[in-house]
A and B are shown apart, each in its own frame.
Chain A
Amino acid sequence: MAEIPEHLLKRSAEAQARALGVPVEQVLAEIRGEAAPEPPARTPPSPAASEARPSAPSGIPEHLLRRTAEAKAEVVGSSVEQVLAEIREDLAPSPPPAAAESAPVADAPSPPVAAAAVASPQDSPSMAASSPAASSPDPSDNGAATAVTPRPVAPPEDIPEGVRPQRLLTVVKAKAIQQVKATPTDKVNTWPHLMIAEFTALMVVTAVLIVLSVILQAPLLELANFNQTPNPSKAPWYFLGLQELLSYYDPQVAGVIIPSITGLVGFMAIPYVDRNPSTKPSDRKFAIMLFTLFLTGSATLTLLGTLFRGPGFNFTYPWADGIWFDDLKDWVHFE
């Protein structure tokens, strides 16, 4: 049997003493006495208890067993009745072997039945007394401490107020329901690997922006004047592609329908229209072509509107007539 560390024994004893209302030393001594080298002699399940509830000798309610069996049957693919019978068989030897129970819960193959203790007040006193798992009514007890205290507890009505008896919800056999598919992925710690990359990017952008802001003066033209329309009047640069479109098409088409229908709605709909699951470029040539077309198109229109439009929004050549783009006016004097 595994050696129980002193502090765990103590904690377990304290919890028990609190629950039972007896001095800690007494409980500790009892535990020590019983946790002696030999595996403790366990009380066999009282025949009365198993007779009283023949359907669930382990004290597990019938409907829970059934639910477990159904879930397992779905995973395994066999019939519910068959699985139910199997589970009953597994649970039949009521007191689990001492070795299996004393092993920590982390020991995967052993059934984690011991983890959930039964001490619900509805159970008959004899049942609670005989079940070894019921010996620690304190929920904070861990598996290892529970295992070495197969000491009959007092009837549930002795449990003082504030101590919640545990209720068994279900019994899950290891690997019965959960399907653990561990696919190894190549991962690194965010700290420091990603954080350093992000921090560097952030510093570089800050530095570039500060240098830019020292060199380039943001524009501030004359005070707004409603009576003096500048020629040309241009929108902010990110709308200049649209303004360019406006000079070709009807305003309702270029100013509203194209940006709101194709621009906004169309873009939001992309994932619902493109149902091709592949992310490989070779599988999505059409999608990539369309998007590249959009990118080059909007870039061309924006550049045209920015650089090649002069007074009256007529075509000009920037190298011949200068650039009509006031956003950069205070930085470079074009003319």
Chain B
Amino acid sequence: MAIGNGFKLRERVSEAADSFRRSPLWESMFRPGSPFKRGYSDSPRNRSYVIMNNVLYHLHPVKVKRHAVRLSYTLCLGGLSFFLFILLTITGIFLMFYYRPTAPAAYIDVEALSTSVAFGSLVRNLHRWGAHLMVLTVFLHMSRVFYHGAYKPPREFNWVVGVVLLLLTLLLSFTGYLLPWDQLALWAVTVGTNMAGFTPLFGNQVKFALLGGIEVTGNTLLRFYVLHVLFLPFVIVIFMAVHFWRVRKDGGISGPL
């Protein structure tokens, strides 16, 4: 018997894997041209199919200008902002499992997260530094677009959408800032909302609506929490969809200087 013989075992495993890849289940999982499909070969046609037939990749056109793949042109800043948003969503969902947005519980939960939850500290750090980095990449992306003149017709409106995305990113970051409910969070948000209170004519109303009261309280915490985990992500996703769609429709990524 060959049981225990490493070579035979490997053969069997590869045989089993092979028969699984021949199964109707596997065949049906991938659209034509997927590299995961049996008998994939590298051909121009299949290279197109890989992009066209994948729900995620088909954000991209099948072909891009050669200069677009040069990293030094865009530095991938827009793509990285999007990626950081996804990373923040994933880590954020993890954090939501351990966090209660009430004044008595919030601080304790964050403290417990850092000390008694597996990978809790790492995930919280990822979420925090990732958020700071996202503010930075979105801002740098805007600067890059400006210096390339990539906001010129027909891309004017996409620039406007981009500015809205920057604002939403800042708001997401700012609302998240309060959630740990420590001295840093409380007073940073107090300073920030005080600035909003200086709005001419209806400054007090703006401040009241933001805080859910006349000063930062538990109401503010709940308000910022809902804005942070539900409302703002919802809005930003819609704007991102429009942004990406317009990138494609307005002629793909901008040309070289």
Which residue numbers of A lie inside 8 Å of B, CB to CB? 185-195, 197-198, 201-202, 205-206, 209-210, 212-214, 216-226, 228-230, 233-239, 242-243, 246, 251-252, 255-257, 260, 264, 267-268, 270-272, 274, 276-281, 284, 287-288, 291, 295, 326-327, 329
Given contacts A189-B48, A239-B174, A226 and B186 within 8 Å (CB-CB): yes
Residue of A nearest to B35 (CB): A191
CA distance A107 to B245 in the complex (A): 35
Given contacts A190-B63, A224-B107, A218 and B152 within 8 Å (CB-CB): no
Minimal beta-carbon separation of B25 from chain A (angstroms):
25
The answer to whether B3 has its CB under 8 Å from any CB of chain A is: no
Which residue numbers of B lie inside 8 Å of A, CB to CB? 44, 47-48, 50-51, 57, 60-69, 71, 76, 79-80, 83-84, 87, 103, 107, 110-111, 114, 121-122, 124-130, 132-133, 135, 143, 146-153, 155-157, 159-160, 163-164, 167, 170, 173-174, 177, 180-188, 190-192, 194-196, 198-200, 203, 215-216, 254-255, 257
Given contacts A194-B64, A197-B71, A235-B195, A271 and B156 within 8 Å (CB-CB): yes
Check A198–B76 contact: CB distance below 8 A: yes
Check A288–B174 contact: CB distance below 8 A: no
Check B183–A201 contact: CB distance below 8 A: no
CA distance A222 to B173 in the complex (A): 21
Check A268–B160 contact: CB distance below 8 A: yes
List the 9 shortest-distance A-B pairs measured between CB atoms, nearest first: A279-B149, A213-B125, A271-B156, A224-B186, A255-B195, A251-B198, A218-B128, A201-B76, A255-B198
By a CB distance below 8 angstroms, the chain B residues around A217 are 114, 121, 125
Tell which of A189, A223, A236, A284 touches B192, judged by Cβ atoms closer than 8 Å.
Answer: A236
Check A191–B195 contact: CB distance below 8 A: no
Check A216–B129 contact: CB distance below 8 A: yes
A-B contact count (CB 8 A): 211
CA distance A237 to B47 in the complex (A): 44
CA distance A274 to B69 in the complex (A): 28
CA distance A18 to B190 in the complex (A): 78
CA distance A329 to B185 in the complex (A): 13
CA distance A130 to B4 in the complex (A): 79
Minimal beta-carbon separation of A38 from chain B (angstroms):
39
Tell which of B69, B143, B200, B216 touches A193, judged by Cβ atoms closer than 8 Å.
Answer: B69
CA distance A284 to B147 in the complex (A): 9
Secondary structure of the A side of the interface? helix
Check A242–B195 contact: CB distance below 8 A: yes
Check B124–A233 contact: CB distance below 8 A: no
Secondary structure of the B side of the interface? helix
Check A194–B68 contact: CB distance below 8 A: yes
Given contacts A189-B48, A271-B159, A279-B149, A205 and B143 within 8 Å (CB-CB): no
CA distance A149 to B192 in the complex (A): 79
List 11 additional A-B contacts (Cβ < 8 Å) besides A220-B180, A279-B148: A194-B64, A202-B79, A205-B83, A223-B183, A237-B132, A238-B135, A243-B195, A264-B167, A268-B163, A271-B151, A271-B152
By a CB distance below 8 angstroms, the chain B residues around A267 are 163
Minimal beta-carbon separation of B105 from chain A (angstroms):
11
Check B181–A201 contact: CB distance below 8 A: no
CA distance A41 to B163 in the complex (A): 69
By a CB distance below 8 angstroms, the chain A residues around B167 are 264
Check A186–B44 contact: CB distance below 8 A: no
Minimal beta-carbon separation of B195 from chain A (angstroms):
4
Check B151–A221 contact: CB distance below 8 A: no
Check B84–A205 contact: CB distance below 8 A: yes
CA distance A122 to B187 in the complex (A): 80
Check A233–B80 contact: CB distance below 8 A: no
Residue of B nearest to A206 (CB): B87
